[in-house]
Structure 1
Amino acid sequence: MRQIKTVDAEGHILCHDITKIVPGEFKGRVFKKGHVVREEDIPVLLSIGKDNLYVWEQTEGMVHENDAAVFLKDIAAGENLEFSDIKEGKIDFISTVDGLLKINVDKLLELNCIDDIMMATLHNNYEVKNGLKVAGTRVIPLVISQEKLDEAKVVLGGEKIINVIPYKTKKVGIVTTGNEVFHKRILDKFGPVIENKVSKFGCEVIGQTICPDDKEIIKNAIKDFIDQGAELICCTGGMSVDPDDVTPTAIKETGAELVTYGSPILPGAMFLLAYHGQVPIMGIPGCAMYNKTTVFDVILPRMLIDDRLTKKDIASYGHGGLCMNCEICTYPACNFAKI
């Protein structure tokens, strides 16, 4: 490309979109890349501050911003994504499913450390809906060297660093513990909360067993659900450190592999996660019964894409794991538990 004075631009081809901004009223494209400048266009261009223009002139080894955006999209975009038209050199990545956004954060950082290249995304593990914009990319200048694009390709190493993983609709068993509920001294209010939350993801609750504070009975209830084909077990009640709260011990004694008892998420410090083979068992603290958003809302979507979480995965939620208990909850469109 080369720069010329706008007054001399008639007949030349624009090599980039021209944007007009009217504060508080309008921001958009008035001339598109590839437009052949006409005599009547020149006063319009001058009125929006374009005394000089870049017009197309092919240079070996240099790539136009639109073609560069397509290149970056092709090397970074993975599963369940579609893309916007190129506008002002930028392409948006849009989810085609309801699912969990997966970003290779380390590779994304490396990519953005290359001069003249940018890629912006929503947070890793963000809950997305079909049609939601999850990322965007472009290059900073109007043209970029092929060498820098090749560097970006090497950095990613063939890995598609932006993916949306669709949720799986799982069969859920609920094990509710507590003498006060078992003996009908109080009405169970935990089961309906869990059923409501999992049903939003299309999951089926295959049953709820209410148990007294008896380790053997709780343990057998968990095993019974696994035998019935449950793919996720939610245990409610008995998750604190009181002497009668034996749910964590019962979960451990099923033979499940304990990942963590305790999480750096508030609300949700007394959360437990274990795996009985491939079946996750979640010990859900009482806060999930009355707080709108808790550790359960954070971890549940990851269980529904078969993430096999580790202690480190849970520990990483500490940075950002404090819910602000906003009067109007906007989760997941907030800072809570974003990693």
Structure 2
Amino acid sequence: MKFGPVPVEQAVGRILAHNIADAQGNRIFRKGRRLTPEDVARLRTEGYREVVVAELEPGDIGEEEAARRIARACEGPGLRPMPAAGGRVNFLADGAGVFLVEPDRLAQLNRLPGVTLATLTRGSVVRARQIVASLKIIPFALPEAIVIQAEALLQDNRPLLGVYPFQPRRVALILSGHPAVWPRLIADFEAPLRERVDACGGIWLGTQTVRHEEAELARAMEAALQQGADFLILAGETAIMDEEDIAPRAIRRIGGTVEAFGAPVDPGNLLLIAYRGEVPILGAPGCARSRHRNVVDWVIPRLMAGLRLTREEIATMGHGGLLEDVEERPAPRLLGTSS
């Protein structure tokens, strides 16, 4: 693409690079306009002798078509791309859910000259018709080689971008501890956790209280599963402290497997993620009783959207995982302990 000043007489058919105003400062032409003979006559009348323009060369693709092609290659599930305008394509969420993006491939795409794609943070909870990503072609045209390179980068079985809708999962909460503290456990944990589940379109099946014993926890989980639960949340008087603690042993006792214990998110380091078949089991740390943002706000929406949380996925949460401390913690961060 050629870019630079030319005499007004030579500007016909070329793309105007800057907004043009008359003597009173009123805009008469907007940048990006392909100038016609009538436009050039108007410019001469307004006293312009030279204008800055862009001219496409063989092998160039205009910003609109370049944006459309790269947007098609970017598109994943749950997204609605808007029509290209000014070299920009915005992606809207089809419905409420969790937005995911692959940061490494996003960075590779943004390294290509003239291509920019801005997105929400991976794992963001989004509403229907919210803008989740915006693609902008910077120059008025791109060499086709760059567009082809972008398309090749995005040709993968894994979509670069996607919004994964919430599913009407049936959620059961199991609280464990000494019977004397059961009323307090219900008062502490039930409402904050239920609010989070409700916000993701879940179906609340109820809360069980049991002694903090392996056999009791196992029986409670089996009972919840028989009642149709397809998402279990465990919490209680004491957080899980080891993969051989009571709750992980109870999970294995019913045929489940622990996917990850411990998360690089604070508050919420003592998180456990397990599965019995396709049913997720969340071992919630003590900070889950707080309505302030903590690790469960990162994992509950993903699990409600049917996304499988692996140890690798949990490991990526360390970037941005240092959250504001919460007053409800028995030992605040200042004291050098974690919940």
What TM-score does the superposition give when structure 2 sets the normalisation length? 0.81
The one-letter amino acid paired with 1:233 is L
Shift of 1:256: 0.9
Q: Give the conservation status (yes or no) of the 8 Å contact 2:292–2:326.
A: no
Cα gap change, 1:95 to 1:183, in 2 (>3 Å): closer
2:258 is aligned with 1:261:
no
Summarize deviations over 1:143-198 as a string: whole Å, max 9, x none. Answer: 22112211222222255422111111200011111115566477632112111110
Cα gap change, 1:223 to 1:96, in 2 (>3 Å): same
Q: Give the conservation status (yes or no) of the 8 Å contact 2:16–2:51.
A: no
Q: 1:24 maps to what in 2?
A: none
The one-letter amino acid paired with 1:220 is R
More helix by share: 2
Q: Give the conservation status (yes or no) of the 8 Å contact 2:17–2:53.
A: no
Cα gap change, 1:16 to 1:187, in 2 (>3 Å): same
Q: 2:161 maps to what in 1?
A: 162
Q: Give the conservation status (yes or no) of the 8 Å contact 1:81–1:164.
A: yes
Q: 2:24 maps to what in 1?
A: none
2:231 is aligned with 1:213:
no
Summarize deviations over 1:297-318 as a string: whole Å, max 9, x none. Answer: 1011111222222222212222
Q: Give the conservation status (yes or no) of the 8 Å contact 1:13–1:55.
A: no
Residue range with higher mean Cα deviation, 204-213 or 304-313: 304-313
Q: Secondary structure of the equivalent of 1:33?
A: coil
Shift of 1:106: 2.7
Q: Give the conservation status (yes or no) of the 8 Å contact 1:268–1:296.
A: yes
Shift of 1:43: 7.7
Paired with 1:45 and 1:154, the residues of 2 have a C-alpha distance of: 47
2:89 is aligned with 1:88:
no
Is there any run of 5+ residues in structure 2 with no aligned partner, and where?
A: 22-26, 328-339
Pairing 1:317-336 to 2, within 5 Å after superposition: 317-325=317-325
Shift of 1:254: 2.2
Identity level (%): 24
Paired with 1:138 and 1:153, the residues of 2 have a C-alpha distance of: 15
Shift of 1:44: 7.5
Shift of 1:276: 0.6
Cα gap change, 1:16 to 1:170, in 2 (>3 Å): farther
Residue range with higher mean Cα deviation, 270-279 or 177-186: 177-186
Paired with 1:215 and 1:96, the residues of 2 have a C-alpha distance of: 43
Cα gap change, 1:310 to 1:185, in 2 (>3 Å): closer
Q: Give the conservation status (yes or no) of the 8 Å contact 2:18–2:52.
A: no
2:63 is aligned with 1:65:
yes
Paired with 1:211 and 1:178, the residues of 2 have a C-alpha distance of: 6
Cα gap change, 1:212 to 1:135, in 2 (>3 Å): same
Q: 2:171 maps to what in 1?
A: 172
Cα gap change, 1:319 to 1:106, in 2 (>3 Å): closer
The one-letter amino acid paired with 2:104 is D
Paired with 2:43 and 2:130, the residues of 1 have a C-alpha distance of: 36
The one-letter amino acid paired with 2:286 is G
Q: 2:277 maps to what in 1?
A: 277
How many residues are paired up? 314
Q: 1:190 maps to what in 2?
A: 189
Paired with 2:93 and 2:120, the residues of 1 have a C-alpha distance of: 12
Is there any run of 5+ residues in structure 1 with no aligned partner, and where?
A: 22-26, 328-339
Q: 2:137 maps to what in 1?
A: 139
Q: Give the conservation status (yes or no) of the 8 Å contact 2:192–2:291.
A: no
2:187 is aligned with 1:223:
no
Q: 1:239 maps to what in 2?
A: 239
Q: Give the conservation status (yes or no) of the 8 Å contact 1:177–1:247.
A: no
Cα gap change, 1:184 to 1:123, in 2 (>3 Å): closer
